[in-house]
Structure 1
Amino acid sequence: MQPIWSVGLMTGTVLDGNIDVALLKTDGERIEAFGPYALVPYEASVRPMLEQAQAEARVWNFEGPEPAIFAAAEEALTRAQSAAVRQVVEGAGMAMAEIGVVGFHGQTVLHRGPQKGGLPGETRQLGDGQLMQSLLGTKVVYDFRTADIRAGGQGAPLAAAYHAALLGTAGASGDSAILNLGGVGNVTWWDGKSDLVAFDTGPANAPINDFVKARGLGEMDRGGALAAAGSVDEARLARLLEHPYLTAAYPKSLDRFDFTAAMADGLSNEDGAATLTAFSASCVGKALDLLPQRPTRLFVSGGGRHNPTFMAMLGKRAGVEAVSADTIGWRGDAVEAECFAFLAVRVLRGLPISFPSTTGVPQPMTGGRIAG
């Protein structure tokens, strides 16, 4: 297959009010060219709907009929993301006819990996691929995670195949890994020879953002200023780090709310932010200890890399050199959206998007549904 232009879409679980849109020219194995990338804000009415859907999803917990808000939020976000695709493509001087496929991740409202005792995993992303296809007239790949879950996998993380392509361009040797810091953290390790390894490290930005928001101090700890002004409650941190998830063998995955801001209850604004940031950074260190080879350097993508306190704590608490993915020519804010552009092309080609060593599926498998 010749490389084609693909559009990838992502909105993270921290609900920052933006749609990540990235163009990538790829054959699903190699990256031919990076196209335009943009953060397109949702209309003001959409974000509260998504927040409500996320809150009601936790009450629903995969039992009984889905909350009514799901259908309304799904249509609203699908229409908004379709408009964002058209805006970015046409803003780049291209026509939709030049786009071979759109990778539409949708909005995760609830995710649960397989549980001990044989309880299967469940996952729900809001996103109507058929509606997007009808609006854009372009093939759409969506619902990336369900097939993996149905096959007994974790359904996450799915970025590993794309991360491997990036690591390949950087000369993968095992001494470096990719860390994405979204609501949850996930790491991908590959030495260019062995099995690709990927799993969720623990919480990343979600508890910090929720803590700051609950205290009425804004949407996030901008620039890590609050955490930098505080002191880590070391005794509490030590107790938090006893959580069994952190030493459990991979594959493993998390929901955005598996670790919450309640971990900082009773602390001051500054000390709470510092302790939550230290916990997220320390979780990464625990994760690196599980890898076949402990990397000495992490290429960091996602919103967390903009937090200098978090990045410094990775060095101190995780014992690793943490560098922004941008320093080696990648686009740290775009990596997740690019990933779903890449995976969409793999799905079209029938190539695997998840693997035994990344999600725990019995064998490498493709996934996603194709509209159009």
Structure 2
Amino acid sequence: MALFVGVMSGTSMDAVDSALVDLAGETPRLLATHDTAWPHSLRERLQALAAGSPLSATDFAVLDADVGLFFAEAIDQLLHQSGTPATDVAAIGCHGQTVAHAPERFPPATLQLGDANIIAERTGITTINDFRRRDMAAGGQGAPLAPAFHEAVLRHDDENRVVLNLGGIANITVLPKDREREAIGFDTGPANCLMDGWIRQQQGKPFDADGKWAASASPVPDLLNALLNDPYFTLAPPKSTGTQYFSNRWLHDRLGADSRYSGAEVQATLLALTSQSISDAIRQHASGTERVLVCGGGAHNNVLMQRLGKTLGIPVEPTSTHGIDPEWMEAMAFAWLAQRTLAGAPGNLPSVTGADQYRILGAVHAA
């Protein structure tokens, strides 16, 4: 076996996903998983920073260390529950918690918290983090990075496929069956972030379970058109975005101070925004797609999945139908990227990120 741990916390900041993966064979094997909810106070500090709240240098450094400690605890729990000695694990690939992503700035910048020195010291396992910035230094967007893994495990010679990740932000990986055509991928816009933020504000719930609240009303056409009018949706790839852009403030600016829409109507419109922006991106940049394979938390939103299938007119199904648990795709991807780093192999796809060349990604913190 070749055991690696992948750790992922997405833009929704709902939990930290840790996955133990055997990468010895051609097909990765998911051996164990652990889902660790963020402590309320730590999550609030991260969300405040991501939203632009000022922070002193000392407080910033302490937050980075606190996140590193939390990641280390989550990994220890994964290994303990699976009965896996730390000495059996080759490396940890830790994405970190994104608090800033600004590829459009000059110079472009991105920031993921979680001190890997602490993770390596506490777990006794070589830890690789900071995967995005080398791609950015080479002229890329630094995101999305999972498409390289999608291509490795889900590309098929008999079918044009799109892998759709529905996290806080939605991104697609276009996998043509013609191997002479390069895979491409990019962030299409919001997936769950706006819907989660709206129901949290209106009802105090972390998310709209199965899209039931959205399904209780109809989308408002004028509002949907106003949201879709954002210039991000018509930008040509490569492109990436984050919740710092598609934020609660972004929505409130478009709703206005005296919104005449009910809470349910707004939620229905936000679900329609996610579905429509994804469908438009696939039609424009992945014509001929025969199947969409969905990963991320949004794969469990049946209303959204059905809407996508109806709009696109092709099968839209979770990646579990092809052997990859949709909840653990990204954590597995960072285990795989860690293996690539140790092997001295590139982890980015320039056709996805726009980087000038393939690059070995990540900073290695030896055990």
TM-score (norm 2): 0.91
For 1:114, the equivalent position in structure 2 comes to: 104
Give unmatched runs, 5+ long, in structure 2: none
For 1:4, the equivalent position in structure 2 comes to: 2
CA distance in 2, matches of 1:320, 1:264: 33
User: Secondary structure in 1 aligned to 2:352?
Assistant: coil
For 1:35, the equivalent position in structure 2 comes to: 31
CA distance in 2, matches of 1:329, 1:88: 21
Give unmatched runs, 5+ long, in structure 1: none
Contact 2:98–2:112, Cα closer than 8 Å, also in 1: yes
Shift of 1:154: 0.3
TM-score (norm 1): 0.90
Does 2:345 match 1:351? Answer: yes
**Residue from 14, 19, 24 that aligns with 2:16:** 19
Shift of 1:70: 2.6
For 2:278, the equivalent position in structure 1 comes to: 284
For 1:198, the equivalent position in structure 2 comes to: 185
Distance 1:59 1:79, change over 3 A: closer
**Residue from 157, 166, 171 that aligns with 1:186:** 171
Contact 1:104–1:140, Cα closer than 8 Å, also in 2: yes
Shift of 1:59: 5.0
For 1:230, the equivalent position in structure 2 comes to: 217
Between Structure 1 and Structure 2, the one with more helix by share is 2
Shift of 1:318: 4.3
Does 2:362 match 1:368? Answer: yes
Structure 1 runs of 4+ aligned residues shifted over 4 Å read: 65-68
| Identity, % of aligned positions | 32
Shift of 1:240: 2.4
What does residue range 30-179 of structure 1 map to in structure 2 within 5 Å? 30-55=26-51, 58=52, 68-115=58-105, 119-168=106-155, 171-179=156-164
The one-letter code sitting in structure 2 at the alignment partner of 1:191 is: P
Aligned length: 357
CA distance in 2, matches of 1:303, 1:172: 28
Shift of 1:173: 4.1
CA distance in 1, matches of 2:151, 2:56: 36
Q: Deviations over 1:162-217 (max 9, x none)?
A: 1112214xx35452211000010011112251212111011100001111111134
Contact 1:212–1:219, Cα closer than 8 Å, also in 2: yes
CA distance in 2, matches of 1:246, 1:14: 20
Contact 2:34–2:77, Cα closer than 8 Å, also in 1: no
CA RMSD, 1 decimal: 2.0
Contact 1:9–1:21, Cα closer than 8 Å, also in 2: yes
What does residue range 312-323 of structure 1 map to in structure 2 within 5 Å? 312-323=306-317
CA distance in 2, matches of 1:225, 1:89: 36
User: Secondary structure in 2 aligned to 1:15?
Assistant: coil
User: Secondary structure in 2 aligned to 1:358?
Assistant: helix
Shift of 1:77: 1.6
Distance 1:352 1:66, change over 3 A: farther
Q: Deviations over 1:109-128 (max 9, x none)?
A: 0101135xxx2321010011
CA distance in 1, matches of 2:364, 2:158: 35
User: Secondary structure in 1 aligned to 2:171?
Assistant: strand
Does 2:221 match 1:221? Answer: no
Q: Deviations over 1:28-67 (max 9, x none)?
A: x933422111212233432222222222xx356xxxx865
CA distance in 1, matches of 2:57, 2:320: 40
